[in-house]
C-alpha cells in the first residue's frame, strides 16, 4: 500500500486508473478546440459536442460564399445537416448567422432556393419538423417583410430613373423617361459612338429602355423604346418566393392532417 501511495503522488495531472481488472489504453490529454478535454472511448455527449463544434466551423466558412449559385447550394447543405443533427440551439444560431442572405435579392436568389431545395430533396425526411419549423418560420418572416404583395405593373409610359450624364443625348433620354405619353423616339443622323454611349448608360442605370442602332447612310440612327423589364423581374422574384411560401404551408398542413389521422 505504501508503494502504491508513493506512486500516486508522482502523478501531477488528473487521470483515470483502475484498481481492479484490466483497462483498454487511454490517450491522455486529448484536447479539442472549443470542446475541451476528451477521453476515449467517446461518450455520446462528447461525440455530439465534437460534431456540433465541427458543424459550427463548417457553417462559418460556408456562409461567406456570396456567389448566388454556390451560396444557395451551400445553404441547402447546411439545412440538410441541421435536420440530421437535430439540435434546435444550433439551428437558431445558424439562422441568426445568415443575415446576409435575407436582403431582398438574396432572399429570392439564395434563401428561397435553399429552402425549396431542402423540401424537394427531404420531403419525407424532415423529421418531427422541429428544425424545419425554425428555418421555415424565419424564411416566412423575411418573405413577408420583402415580398408582401405582388408588384404593380406600370399604369402608363412613365419610367423611373435618370442618367447621370449631362450630354445632350442623355438629357434627351432623361426627358423621355418620365413622359407618360411617349413609348419610343428616335435619334436621327447621329454617330454610332453616341448611340453606343446611350446603350452603355441604359445598362449602367438598369433603365427600362431598349435601344436599336441602325445604319442611316452615311450616319446612324438610334430608336429608343420603353419596356417593363423591372416589373417583369420583380414579378418573377415575387412569384418564386410565393411558390416557396405555398410549399412550406403545404408541408405544415400535411403535418396537421397526419396528426389528426386524416392520411
Q: How far is the CB of 197 from Zn ion (least distance, A)?
A: 6
Residues in region 43-102 near Zn ion by CB under 5 A: none
- With contact defined as beta carbons under 8 Å apart, do 233 and 226 qualify? no
* 3-state DSSP assignment of residue 53: helix
- Whole-angstrom Cα distance, residue 191 to residue 167? 14
Q: How far is the CB of 55 from Zn ion (least distance, A)?
A: 53
Can you say whether the dihedral through the CA atoms of 111, 114, 119, 125 is positive or negative? Answer: negative
Of 73-81, 153-161, 169-177, 251-259, the segment contacting Zn ion by CB under 5 A is 169-177
Query: Cell numbers 434627351 label which residue?
Result: 172
> Does residue 244 touch Zn ion according to CB under 5 A?
no
> Does residue 165 touch Zn ion according to CB under 5 A?
yes
Query: Cell numbers 423540401 label which residue?
Result: 119
> Does residue 177 touch Zn ion according to CB under 5 A?
no
- Whole-angstrom Cα distance, residue 82 to residue 153? 40
User: For residues 170 and 202, which CB has a smaller minimum distance to Zn ion in the complex?
Assistant: 170
Of 58-66, 162-170, 175-183, 206-214, the segment contacting Zn ion by CB under 5 A is 162-170
> Does residue 191 touch Zn ion according to CB under 5 A?
no
Report angle CA 98, 59, 137 to the nearest 5 degrees: 40
List the end-to-end C-alpha distance of the chain, in Å, as a whole number: 70
- Tell which one of 98, 114, 170, 209 touches Zn ion (CB under 5 A): 170
- Whole-angstrom Cα distance, residue 128 to residue 86? 10
- Tell which one of 167, 186, 188, 191 touches Zn ion (CB under 5 A): 167
User: For residues 170 and 195, which CB has a smaller minimum distance to Zn ion in the complex?
Assistant: 170
> Which residues are at the interface with Zn ion (CB under 5 A)?
165, 167, 170
Amino acid at each position: 500500500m505504501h508503494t502504491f501511495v508513493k506512486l500516486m503522488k508522482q502523478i501531477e495531472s488528473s487521470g483515470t486508473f483502475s484498481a481492479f481488472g484490466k483497462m483498454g489504453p487511454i490517450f491522455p490529454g486529448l484536447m479539442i478546440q472549443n470542446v475541451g478535454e476528451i477521453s476515449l472511448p467517446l461518450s455520446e455527449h462528447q461525440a455530439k459536442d465534437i460534431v456540433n463544434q465541427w458543424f459550427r466551423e463548417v457553417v462559418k466558412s460556408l456562409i461567406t460564399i456570396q456567389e448566388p449559385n454556390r451560396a444557395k447550394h451551400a445553404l441547402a447543405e447546411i439545412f440538410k445537416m441541421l435536420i440530421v443533427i437535430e439540435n434546435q440551439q444550433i439551428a437558431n444560431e445558424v439562422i441568426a448567422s445568415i443575415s446576409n442572405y435575407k436582403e431582398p435579392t438574396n432572399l429570392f436568389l439564395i434563401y428561397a432556393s435553399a429552402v425549396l431545395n431542402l423540401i424537394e430533396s427531404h420531403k419525407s425526411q424532415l423529421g418531427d419538423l422541429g428544425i424545419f419549423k425554425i428555418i421555415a418560420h424565419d424564411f416566412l418572416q423575411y418573405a413577408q417583410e420583402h415580398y408582401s404583395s405582388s408588384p404593380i405593373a406600370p399604369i402608363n409610359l412613365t419610367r423611373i430613373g435618370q442618367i447621370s450624364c449631362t450630354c445632350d443625348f442623355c438629357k434627351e433620354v432623361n426627358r423621355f423617361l418620365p413622359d407618360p405619353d411617349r413609348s419610343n423616339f428616335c435619334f436621327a443622323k447621329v454617330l454610332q459612338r453616341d448611340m453606343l454611349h446611350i446603350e452603355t448608360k441604359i445598362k449602367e442605370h438598369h433603365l427600362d429602355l431598349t435601344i436599336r442602332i441602325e445604319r442611316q447612310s452615311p450616319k446612324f440612327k438610334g430608336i429608343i423604346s420603353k419596356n417593363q423589364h423591372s416589373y417583369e423581374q420583380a414579378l418573377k422574384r415575387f412569384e418564386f418566393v410565393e411558390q416557396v411560401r405555398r410549399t412550406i404551408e403545404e408541408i405544415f398542413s400535411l403535418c396537421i392532417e397526419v396528426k389528426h389521422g386524416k392520411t
